[in-house]
Amino acid sequence: MQTVQEVKIRPVKPDDIEQISLLEQASFNDPYPSYFLSELARHNPDTFLVLTLNNEIVGYGIVDHWEDHDHLISIAVRPDSRRKGFGDTLLVELEKRVSKERLLRLEVRQSNLAAIQLYSKRGFTKTGMVEGYYADGEDAIVMEKRLVKETLVES
Ligand SMILES: CC(C)(COP(=O)(O)OP(=O)(O)OC[C@H]1O[C@@H](n2cnc3c(N)ncnc32)[C@H](O)[C@@H]1OP(=O)(O)O)[C@@H](O)C(=O)NCCC(=O)NCCS
């Protein structure tokens, strides 16, 4: 008999930070420290989301509200749960929760083809480069998406 997998997306809770920190360490060479993740959670109660599989956190995504745009700070899926659509699902849910009048911007390592593919698939376009953006000297690609309000079509 096949087990039913229960996938949920919900706002982060203070108790999640430890698990998110482990996921961050498994996903990045230069992970954010847990105090910074806690600050982001405090500032973004609606746009710091976790994705759970059978109540275990396997992904998270964070959008922070900057002065002139919204910024996708981080998104990651646990290595053993990748390529199952969870990254895409998180990004779609984050997009629903940010203001439709604002630009959504992010930086991504130029070698990070998986993430670049994900963002391109969701309609982000490359708008710039930042030389030596990362601590190890790698350049960042800047990508942006202008969200549009869904309009009701009257028949
Ligand atoms: C980037 C990341 C979040 C994608 O999460 P995921 O759950 O594996 O992605 P999904 O299964 O939802 O895939 C969505 C799309 O992303 C692209 N994609 C994801 N992984 C890919 C890979 N390894 N190679 C190429 N394209 C990939 C594909 O376009 C895919 O669509 P498709 O399945 O129709 O081909 C995940 O690889 C990750 O956590 N990486 C480490 C952290 C990271 O680099 N975050 C981004 C920081 S800028």
Q: pLDDT tens for residues 80-137?
A: 999 999 999 999 999 999 988 889 999 999 999 999 999 999 999 999 999 999 999 9
Cα separation, 104 vs 47, in Å, equals: 12
Residue 19's pLDDT is 96
Residues 23 and 60 sit within 8 Å (Cβ to Cβ): yes
What pTM was computed for the model? 0.94
Residue 144's pLDDT is 97
Cα separation, 138 vs 153, in Å, equals: 45
Cα–ligand 1 centroid distance for 154 (angstroms): 36
Ligand 1: residue of 53, 75, 118 to mutate (most ligand atoms within 8 A of CB) is: 118
Cα separation, 150 vs 17, in Å, equals: 33
3-class secondary-structure state, position 152 = coil
Residue 99's pLDDT is 80
- Ordered by start, the domain boundaries in the chain are 7-146
Cα separation, 104 vs 69, in Å, equals: 6
Residue 38's pLDDT is 98
Cα separation, 5 vs 56, in Å, equals: 11
Backbone angles phi, psi at 9, to 5 degrees: -120, 135
Residue 148's pLDDT is 79
H or E segment and range at residue 38: helix 34-43
Q: Which pLDDT band holds residue 155 (cuts at 50, 70, 90)?
A: very low
Q: Positive or negative CA dihedral for 42, 83, 71, 142?
A: positive
Confirm or reject CATH 3.40.630.30 for domain 7-146, answering yes or no: yes
* Residue 71 CB–ligand 1 contact under 6 Å: no
